[in-house]
Chains A and B, each alone.
Chain A
Amino acid sequence: MAHQVHAYHMVDPSPWPLTGAVGALLLTSGLAIWMHFHNMTLLTLGLILLLLTMYQWWRDIVREGTFQGHHTPPVQKGLRYGMILFITSEVFFFLGFFWAFYHSSLAPTPELGGCWPPTGITPLDPFEVPLLNTAVLLASGVTVTWAHHSIMEGHRKEAIQSLTLTILLGFYFTFLQAMEYYEAPFTIADGVYGSTFFVATGFHGLHVIIGSTFLAICLLRQVLYHFTSEHHFGFEAAAWYWHFVDVVWLFLYISIYWWGS
């Protein structure tokens, strides 16, 4: 086998970009078909294809990095840039919804009663469950940092325990938020208050679920000895994403829950 004289990763030909693109096609057209004809087949097919693509694509990255050694320092640098850029794009995504919230809440229209919260809306008390949610996410930020230091110091058992605790806190947040959604006295259909509240917090909740899943994969990999004390970028990427999710919540809490009540 010819050996490369550079430190970069020339990947093997892979079918997953194609299957992922087709998955996106099926999801979008499936959404349209579902909305017009009440048929979920295409949508479900798209979701299955997306999940299969994600599983196999990321499984292959683990094989290439951990088992085949392709993730040299320059390659890892590229992966770091990639994750930073992705998280930046997500920041802009949320920025849009915060823009919408402030646009509507800083100058409430006469139709709302000229006030914020609008007439007829009883907002959630920011010092009840939302405050608990804030504490839960802040604590999870501490435990994920603890897990990182444990990995760097080679403390396998501590790393597993602190990472598990982080994931449990993430699930606790999701559970509490689901309860809040169920018990809330207003819905997404309640004017611009309902729209901005549920779209912003809803997308945040989705990101908490994604982040928890990413951390759970890292836990599995930690148990399987994939991470070393010097090289554990998958975990670092998950930790960055988790801190991003935490920061978004803090902005949501301050803007929508507290200032907006």
Chain B
Amino acid sequence: MYYKFSGFTQKLTGSAPATAYNPQGLRSGLPAESPTMIFATPTKVVSEAGATAEYMGANKVPDLQKFFQTSDGIPVHLKRGYPDRLLYRTTMALTIGGVAYCLVALYIAAQPNRK
């Protein structure tokens, strides 16, 4: 029995051997590394540009890529550590407090008017 990953059901389903050995999306002869990404091409002449082309700050994306790809098991919304935790806890506190306040307010609103 041969299997393929069905893009429709997101599960393994039966398939012909040919499909099992040639999964969709896996192309042979593709380089392991993705091609160099071009963030910006310098507008100045090379002799004037200096070592790197810079306009409005230097490129920090490669460093951030390395930082966020560390395999420490931390979910992406907490990956930065303290600032992420602070914002998350504040949001969660407002969420839980908000639900409580909402239920109380709706309970009070549902009381008949006493004249």
Asked whether A18 is an interface residue with its Cβ less than 8 Å from the other chain, the reply is yes
**9 A-B pairs with C-beta separation under 8 A:** A8-B10, A15-B88, A29-B105, A49-B98, A66-B61, A67-B65, A156-B41, A223-B56, A225-B59
A64 to B60, CA, bound (A): 16
Asked whether A76 is an interface residue with its Cβ less than 8 Å from the other chain, the reply is no
Asked whether A216 is an interface residue with its Cβ less than 8 Å from the other chain, the reply is no
Interface string of A4-37 (1 = CB under 8 A from B): 0111100011111011001101100110110011
Interface string of A204-230 (1 = CB under 8 A from B): 000000000000000000011111111
Given A68-B69, A160-B56, A155 contacting B43 (CB threshold 8 A): yes
Chain B residues with a Cβ under 8 A of chain A? 5, 7, 10, 23, 25, 35, 37-41, 43, 53, 55-57, 59-61, 64-65, 67-69, 71, 75-77, 79, 87-88, 90-92, 94-95, 97-99, 101-102, 105-106, 109
Asked whether A1 is an interface residue with its Cβ less than 8 Å from the other chain, the reply is yes
Question: Is A14 within 8 A of B5, CB to CB?
Answer: no
Residue from B43, B75, B101 within 8 A of A12 (CB atoms) = B75
Asked whether A199 is an interface residue with its Cβ less than 8 Å from the other chain, the reply is no
Interface string of A113-127 (1 = CB under 8 A from B): 000000000000000
B105 neighbours in A (Cβ, 8 Å):
29, 33, 42
A230 to B29, CA, bound (A): 20
New A-B pairs, 6, CB < 8 Å, besides A6-B25, A56-B91: A19-B92, A45-B98, A52-B91, A63-B79, A67-B69, A227-B39
Residue from A1, A32, A69 within 8 A of B109 (CB atoms) = A32
Distance in Å: Cβ of B3 to nearest Cβ of chain A: 12
A64 to B81, CA, bound (A): 16
Distance in Å: Cβ of A31 to nearest Cβ of chain B: 12
Question: How many chain-A residues does the 8 Å CB contact rule pick out?
Answer: 55
A227 neighbours in B (Cβ, 8 Å):
39
Question: Is A42 within 8 A of B90, CB to CB?
Answer: no
A223 neighbours in B (Cβ, 8 Å):
56-57
Question: Is B98 within 8 A of A69, CB to CB?
Answer: no
A23 neighbours in B (Cβ, 8 Å):
95, 98
B53 neighbours in A (Cβ, 8 Å):
156
Asked whether A154 is an interface residue with its Cβ less than 8 Å from the other chain, the reply is yes
Question: Is B102 within 8 A of A156, CB to CB?
Answer: no
